[in-house]
Amino acid sequence: MFTTLVGVLSVMLIAVLISGIRILREYERGVVFLLGRFYKVKGPGLIFIVPVVQQMIKVDLRTIVMDVPPQDVISRDNVSVKVSAIVFFRVIDPEKAVIQVEHFYNATSQMAQTTLRSVLGQHELDEMLSERDKLNADIQSILDQQTEAWGIKVANVEIKQMDLNETMIRAIARQAEAERERRAKVIHAEGELQASQRLVEAAQTLAQSPRAIQLRYLQTLTEIAGDKSNTIVFPLPMDLLESVGIVAKPK
């Protein structure tokens, strides 16, 4: 009878010891509590937890990719935009992630939503569309500071999509078309200015050499003569006739 009791107790002891064995992967850590108090962080590998006396909460240290659901944002110029984003974060302090906050994933998600609305609401629509990299950096920095007390490191934030209503899309299209027309007019005006400057320079150069003016005049006549017109009427400047001796120079 005694032998049977010892055997039963031995089997129960072995079962209890086996139940306390845990295997943690390389990216996992176990936050161990002893009678409700924090004891230590264990892992990775094979660890042992004393049943009943100790409890363990497993924490994953890998980078978590979290989708931030679309948020209704009112820009500084009173435009309604629906914005969604992606947050990349990971646990760097398992103890804080378990003790300092309840369900760190949900807490980080809620914090990301409020931070996204707060940061984007301080900017105008044009800035939100053209300065997305800067906005991503601002959101990441603020969110990282807020979650640091929870043992969370926010590595990156990416604004995924901005949805506008049809009225705003048409207004932006008209604005882009007007901007293209403005640039075309500016380029045309700059070209006219450069051409006029070159003409002034050419006129000054020709004015310094009367013979150059005559040669240019003769070249123009040659070009006109090459036309298919039957009758050509052109004036002859007096200085040209004087240079070839047809007309005498006035004394």
The enclosing domain of 107 has a CATH number of 3.30.479.30
Give every residue of the chain whose pLDDT is below 70, as ranges. 1-2, 167-173, 175-176, 206-207, 209-251
Closest CA to 95 of 133, 38, 44, 173: 38
Of 153, 169, 185, the last residue of a domain is 169
Residue 185 lies in a domain: no
Rounded to 5 degrees, what angle do the CA atoms 174, 176, 178 make? 70
Q: Are residues 134 and 85 in the same domain?
A: yes
Count of structural domains within the chain: 3
Closest CA to 24 of 51, 56, 64, 65: 56
Place of tokens 């006549």: 221
How far is Cα 159 from Cα 143, in angstroms, rounded to an integer? 14
Q: What is the pLDDT of residue 181?
A: 81
Q: What is the pLDDT of residue 246?
A: 47
Q: What is the pLDDT of residue 57?
A: 94
Rounded to two decimals, what is the model's pTM?
A: 0.65
Q: What is the pLDDT of residue 199?
A: 74
Q: Are residues 73 and 143 in the same domain?
A: yes
Q: What is the pLDDT of residue 159?
A: 93
The boundaries of the domain holding residue 78 are 64-169
Q: Are residues 82 and 116 in the same domain?
A: yes
Of 12, 44, 60, the last residue of a domain is 60
Q: Are residues 51 and 69 in the same domain?
A: no
Residue 211 lies in a domain: yes
Residue 246 lies in a domain: yes
- Tokens standing for residue 6: 């010892």
- Tokens standing for residue 127: 């800035």
How far is Cα 39 from Cα 95, in angstroms, rounded to an integer? 10
Indicate the residue type of 8. Answer: V
